Structure 1
Amino acid sequence: MSDNHLQKSGLWWLGLSAIVFALDQWTKSIATQSLKLYEAVVVNDYFNWTLMHNKGMAFSLLANQSGWQRWAIGLIAIVIVCILLVWLKKNKISQKLLNLGLVMVIGGALGNIYDRMVLGYVIDFIEVHYNDYFWPSFNVADTAISLGAFFLILDLIINKDDESQSGKS
């Protein structure tokens, strides 16, 4: 791929994916070194640091399976990242919200894929709660994926008219 194409396509944004991946792995490293597994460190009335090993997917779905889920979830995630990379390559560099959303999802997905394939589980350590109601533990990668999805939806809403106009030409 030529440098000129990189400068004009959404691939220019991939540096942010690398930053998300690095930040995710760095914070997981700190959590692993600083926290004991499943032991909550209370930060305030709504927030704990709690090191968890998630062998399943979001919300620990499939976590109690025999191990096949590691490879199945990993493979599905890799395929999705490849699809997002193709989508990103087709975008113009100026499609800011769309590209931002895609690279955040890609960076977060790569962070969790790395954990899953290398460690056999995803490291989660952020725990939010209200009284006895706990949201499932998560990490920086999960946050990036959620923010990326938000930006993709926002782009869809804001640029809805652009999409319908481009379909008519």
Structure 2
Amino acid sequence: MSVLTNILTHNKITTLLVFISLITISYCYTPDEIEIFQFQLDLTKKYGSKMDIYKFLKLDTITADGSKFDIQKLTRKQIIKQVRKLSTKYHPDKNKKYLKLYERINIAKEILLNEENKKTYDYYLKSARGFPKYNYKKGGFYHSLEGKKQLNGIYLILFVVLIIFPILHFLYLKSDLMGRRMKLSQFS
């Protein structure tokens, strides 16, 4: 009976540690999100803080009935049509100085034509917090905590993995050792 209890306790601890590690991993940004953030950072550095993909591709002026621009009503067909128009106008074969602009147009097209990436971009665009900032010293994107100390996601993960997990593991091993000593003392 005690062996079964010991196994169940061990499995609970292991399950808890796996669950905590999954939570910390889910806190990280995906490679697609990082690409979106880098592109947005590039746009804002080059064209100003109010620039977004829709303004960059001049999609914010397209409305079929002359009504106010709405991201949700923007169709795939409209995106492709506008990208082709801009690609033709700014093709690097016409002028070599348009090479970087042409690359940006293609990246913007890839983001908007991929449904998941578009949802992610729209989420951060509409979010009150906006897009994450980039910290060159720490080497990653982070969200500011509005006047509080800024916490980079990677540091939180490292803290949990390198500090919390070993402490939990130590406490588990210590309690397991004490339990075994108590069992041994019963036999003597």
Q: What TM-score results when the alignment is normalised by the length of structure 2? A: 0.28
Q: What TM-score results when the alignment is normalised by the length of structure 1? A: 0.30
Greater fraction of residues in strand? 1
Q: Which has the higher contact order (CA 8 A, sep 6+)?
A: 1
